[in-house]
Amino acid sequence: MSQQAWQLVADIGGTNARFAALQLGQMESEHQFFYTVAEHADFIELLAQLRRDIAEATGWVDAPQRACLAVACPADGVEIKFTNSHWHFSKQEVAKALESSVEIINDFAAIAHGVTELGADDVIQVGGGTPQQGKPMAVLGPGTGLGVSALIPHSGGYAVVDGEGGHVGFAPGDARQAAILVGLQQRFGGHVSAERLLSGRGIVTLYQQLAELDGVAAPLQQAADITAAALSDSDPLAIATLHQFCQIMGTVAGDVALNFGAKGGVFLAGGVIPRFSDFFSASQFREYFQNKGRFADYLAAIPVYLVVRDHLGLLGAAKHLNSEPV
């Protein structure tokens, strides 16, 4: 065992919790630790296990000098309660468990910080032109939920704007999407957020709703199975579901681009789309992205980038932490 000044970063979603132990000033580390949310009833108890795991892997027995946790829920309250998991805790509980100063930020704020570190090999461009320097960039992406954030030019750099844009009301882009919305309003009792459709669970919801609209059976129950069936051309309903997902992703991403004036580019992150990146790139995403009436030409120039770099949230949390004074 040894003494080492180090810092901790985390990307905590609704399904997985990822941590990295970094030496001070580092952006990345080989010391990464992954846990499944469903397997741990209590987050604070997990932190105790994490500290043991870090000590065993690195020999670092001292507490981290500081920590940054990126969480998939609002991060500005005293109490942190996850939207899509059972975990909840206070900032004070985390600081006590880690024996460290702690910052908690939204997970898509971390993703936005990470976007500033991406290289050419980390993205796939899906249409559009050249990004305009010094213009806003939008970031969104489906995972367990749907995250949305933006980078706004500020003082020679960028300021991150985070919110809960995944929970805005879904606005259909055509008659088929309108029929989907009506069905889901009945199912969910009124409000239907974009996240209801654009997430891992959203793929299942779309599959079931399309089956209801078309009067066919919906035997598959998991997003991974629906995606696999679509990619293998073995299930027409699964294929239709994935096409509809890409179209709705275009509808919502186009709205986000207009909201932020994202002439610096739109970045699609999250864990869902990279699983079918070729299908997505060949889909009607771009057509629906630009299908905004009088502003079609405005959107046609905006480049969209599919992020294929792993663990961007950890990188972004480290970028945020290292930009803060010690």
Domains of the chain in sequence order: 6-112+312-323 (3.30.420.40), 119-308 (3.40.367.20)
Pairwise CA distance, residues 305 & 118, whole Å: 11
pLDDT at 323: 84
b/e per residue 97-125 (b: at least 16 CB within 10 A): bbebebbbbbbbbbbbbbbeebeeebbbe
pLDDT at 285 over 70: yes
Q: Please write the tens of the pLDDT for every residue from 152-203.
A: 999 888 999 988 899 999 999 999 999 999 999 999 999 999 999 999 999 9
Pairwise CA distance, residues 110 & 315, whole Å: 8
67 sits in which H/E element: strand 66-71
Count the neighbouring beta carbons within 10 Å of the beta carbon of residue 208: 19
Average pLDDT over residues 47-73: 94
pTM tops 0.85: yes
Return mean pLDDT, the chain: 94
Kindly indicate the confidence band of residue 3, based on its pLDDT and cuts at 50, 70 and 90.
low
Q: Please write the tens of the pLDDT for every residue from 196-218.
A: 999 999 999 999 999 999 999 99
Pairwise CA distance, residues 13 & 269, whole Å: 13
Share of the chain above pLDDT 70, in %: 98
305 sits in which H/E element: strand 304-307
Average pLDDT over residues 119-130: 97
How far is CA 308 from each of CA 126, 208, 305, rounded to the nearest angstrom?
12, 28, 9
Q: Please write the tens of the pLDDT for every residue from 244-279.
A: 999 999 999 999 999 999 999 999 999 999 999 999
pLDDT at 1 over 60: no
Pairwise CA distance, residues 168 & 78, whole Å: 24
pLDDT at 325 over 90: no
pLDDT at 225: 98
pLDDT at 326: 45
pLDDT at 20 over 90: yes
The region of weakest confidence among 129-138, 158-167, 225-234 is 158-167
